[in-house]
Amino acid sequence: MGVFNRIFVRRFYVENTGFFLVLFYFLFGVVNGANLLYYHMGLMEGFLSSTGFLALVLGLWLLYNFKCIGFVIKTFQLPQYSFLYDTMTCMADSERRPLWMRLHFRMYLPVFIYGGIAAVFGIYKHYYIPAGIILLFNIAMCIWPMWLYEKKLWQPDVFFLTSWFSRWLNRLFVKPSVLYFYYELFTAFPRKIFTTKLWSAAVLWLTFFLMGQSDFYDVRALQLGMIVCVLLHTQLMIHHRAFDEIYLQFLLNLPISTWRHYCRVVGVYALMLIPEAIILYFQSSGHFTLLPLLTSIITGITMLILFRVLLYFPRMNAEVHLRWILVISFILLFMILGDVTWYAIGVMHVLAAVIFFRKLPEYEPWIEVE
């Protein structure tokens, strides 16, 4: 059980650290600590007393469940975990199916705990039907994925909808190299990119909402929201590194200058924040001039580039990478509060370029040891 726990549960939480940081920010960081209990009680009573709100909450929990399911299925498709087919098919059904349930339950546990508390609160407030719906829904979310896992285990060639979409997109147009990674995301990890952008949009909306509540529009608050968006996007960087190592190693043997490789990395992360730039433009609506908006976007792009090139250091696994991300974000936050944002941008750009040009020629693919 310990081996399967490391392969599935531990990797799931490590690779989705950015997602859980943003989730923690929404649940515990947007209100004063003294009002935290009343905030959650009001939130629970809101979706317990409103059918539409409850449907929205259940829909979000369903998306999280899809995230857990997608992670397990994608793990089976990774070459280094192909041994799972031989190992798990040798297990008896009475042993394997409870194992599936325990693994999925541990990944779904944050929602299950919150849903359980909401159900108990609903019973206390006499919302018996919504409380029963929440309990039954969360129990079902822990049981029905076993059918998908069993189907994938006994039919390894099943790739669901993404294979059809991938073939259709290949026939449609020839992609430039800067779009290779996005093609991988939208065909192999559609739920991950969708949920990342959804939460990122929610962070920006919340940032403008809080500034509107206090009627104080400060570019530093806007940049703080952008830092949270960047932290949310860091979960995609491990996929980017793996994609480069598996599919783009041949580019290093082509007569392409290191400068062009660096421009490709910059282009990847500049394109990544286009949706956020559009949201900032329409949300600002006269509260900010163009320069503060550009400053926030450039800050986000620069952070993403620097965080990506850190992965060219040897022995830079996901946990060490996260520590560096948090340290750099902490330092950047103080520089933003000190109104030296452009100095911070310049320093990060120089560091990113130096690291990239020094480490790329000697970089060797990262091999994770479980």
Burial class (CB in 10 A: 0-12, 13-18, 19+), 65: buried
Residue 274 has pLDDT above 80, yes or no: yes
pLDDT in tens, 211-233: 877 777 888 888 888 999 999 88
Residue 368 has pLDDT above 60, yes or no: no
With bands split at pLDDT 50, 70 and 90, how would you rate the model's confidence at 108?
very high
What is the pLDDT, as a whole number, of residue 159? 52
Q: Are 359 and 313 in contact (CB under 8 A)?
A: yes
Residue 291 has pLDDT above 90, yes or no: no
What is the pLDDT, as a whole number, of residue 133? 93
Q: Select the more confidently predicted residue: 218 or 267.
A: 267
Domain ranges of the chain: 1-158, 160-370
Q: What is the pTM of this model?
A: 0.60
Euclidean distance between CA atoms 132 and 151, whole angstroms? 30
Euclidean distance between CA atoms 185 and 176, whole angstroms? 15
Helices marked H in the chain: 2-4, 11-15, 17-24, 36-49, 51-77, 83-89, 93-124, 128-143, 145-154, 161-172, 180-188, 190-214, 219-233, 237-247, 258-272, 274-284, 290-309, 318-337, 341-359
What is the pLDDT, as a whole number, of residue 32? 67
Vertex 20: Cα angle to 47 and 273 (nearest 5): 100
Q: Select the more confidently predicted residue: 165 or 91.
A: 91
pLDDT in tens, 144-172: 888 888 877 776 655 554 555 556 666 77
What is the pLDDT, as a whole number, of residue 354? 94
With bands split at pLDDT 50, 70 and 90, how would you rate the model's confidence at 370?
very low
Q: What is the DSSP string of 237-275?
A: HHHHHHHHHHHSGGGGGSS--HHHHHHHHHHHHHHHTHH
